Amino acid sequence: MKTLRHIQNFVARRLESLREGLLCGSRIFLLTSSFFLLTSCERMELYDLGRHLSLSLDLKLEIDVVIDPSKQTDEPIPTKIDPPTYHKVIFYSTEDGSQKYSTFVGTNGGEISTPPGTYRMLTYSFGTEYIQIRGEENINTLEAFTSDITEAKRGALRGFTRAGDPEPEEQPIIWAPDHLLVSQETVTIPEFSEDDIVITLHAKCATIVETYTFEVPYVHGAQWIESVEAFVTNQARTSFFGRGEVSREPATICFPVGVNRAKGYLYSEFNTFGKLPGESRSLLHILIKNTGGEELHITTDITDQFEKEDHHIIIPEEIIVPEPHQEGGGIAPTVDPWEDEQHDVPIG
């Protein structure tokens, strides 16, 4: 009986201890919760989507490209930038450049919604064929770039260089960028008003890509040309268009060239984020393939011509395209006429 009484007393003390522990824990939890509630009751302004100013964004597009109308090629060269279907609109902090809000609008703008405040509003055309975008989280890291060309096209550059020329293989070879229409404005969105008003924000979208035209006016044997491609070295690899700068990483761009076979000249346009900053030299490599599969390589220095205000590059050297040994290629496969044949098919 004494032993049983000791056990009962022990259990009672343990239960009392647990009860006190639970009460203490509850007090600590309540005190801790009260502390966080008191310290976190800082007033934060809420943004009611149902109570905001009616905002409209009006975009004006600059889409003309300067192309000499007298220089027609067998494949017409477009003289205007295709208007985009959508634009992305991003509102950045004016203090640290971080992204706050983003939305999409149509070709010429549309309705948008954002909390009151002062922002750096940036728009760019969405859905380009070659250009990709990264670094949207901050306006200072916002960057446009294009992909590298395929290995097959890269191999076409082998043998282009002359003694003393920089090797194009040392640079990434990228697709020429298409036009990216961009606008950037500092805007202030006022507080909500009971008045039924619509605030219209205006912005003008212009391309961040530079367009150059070039021609080779003296081409003999143009009728034998199957295709022409060109490469320009020492161009800016990317564009940090949020802060209005191009990268200092060099790249070679690749683009097709138009031919006027009847009049005997080459004419084309090419797009670039800009010539590489500094004193680097830019070489133009032209690869001509005739109908017999033979290749003709022409290399010329066009560095000084990048300074021309009209952005028009002329290659005055005469180019002679050799007549192919056999038009249509060195190998001419043939197919024998079909002949009727009859065979017995065993069944069983």
Q: Which residue has the higher pLDDT, 104 or 40?
A: 104
Cα–Cα distance between 100 and 17 in angstroms, integer?
53
Predicted TM-score of the model (pTM) = 0.72
* DSSP assignment string, 247-283: -S-EEEEEEE-EEETTTTEEEEEEEES-BPSSS---E
Cα–Cα distance between 63 and 83 in angstroms, integer?
7
Q: What is the pLDDT of residue 38?
A: 36
Residue 315 has pLDDT above 80, yes or no: yes
Average pLDDT value for the chain: 78
- Cβ–Cβ < 8 Å for 180, 127: no
Six token digits for residue 163: 């003694």
Question: 129: how many CB neighbours lie within 10 A of its CB?
Answer: 10
Q: Which residue has the higher pLDDT, 113 or 275?
A: 275
Q: Which residue has the higher pLDDT, 279 or 78?
A: 279
Classified as helix, coil or strand, 188 is: strand
Cα–Cα distance between 171 and 67 in angstroms, integer?
29
| CA dihedral sign of residues 35, 39, 43, 45 | negative
N- to C-terminal Cα separation, the chain: 102
CB contact set of 25 (below 8 Å; sequence gap of 6+): none
Q: Comparing 125-134, 191-200, 250-259, 260-269, which segment has the lowest mean pLDDT?
A: 191-200
* DSSP assignment string, 6-25: HHHHHHHHHHHHHHHHHHHH
Q: What is the pLDDT of residue 58?
A: 85
Q: Comparing 39-53, 191-205, 260-274, which segment has the lowest mean pLDDT?
A: 39-53
- Stretch 15-42: mean pLDDT: 43
Q: What share of the chain is helix, strand, coil (3-state, %, to 5)?
A: 15, 40, 45
Question: 255: how many CB neighbours lie within 10 A of its CB?
Answer: 15
- Stretch 274-291: mean pLDDT: 90
Cα–Cα distance between 203 and 102 in angstroms, integer?
16
Question: Please, what is the Cα angle at 302 between 297 and 308, to 5 degrees?
Answer: 145
Selection from 179, 209, 183 nearest residue 91 by Cα: 183
CB contact set of 29 (below 8 Å; sequence gap of 6+): none
| Strand-pair partners of 266 | 216, 259
- CA 52 vs CA 58, 88, 114, 174, 188: distances in Å: 19, 21, 8, 45, 14
- Cβ–Cβ < 8 Å for 271, 76: no
- pLDDT tens per residue across span 46-67: 445 455 556 788 888 887 766 6
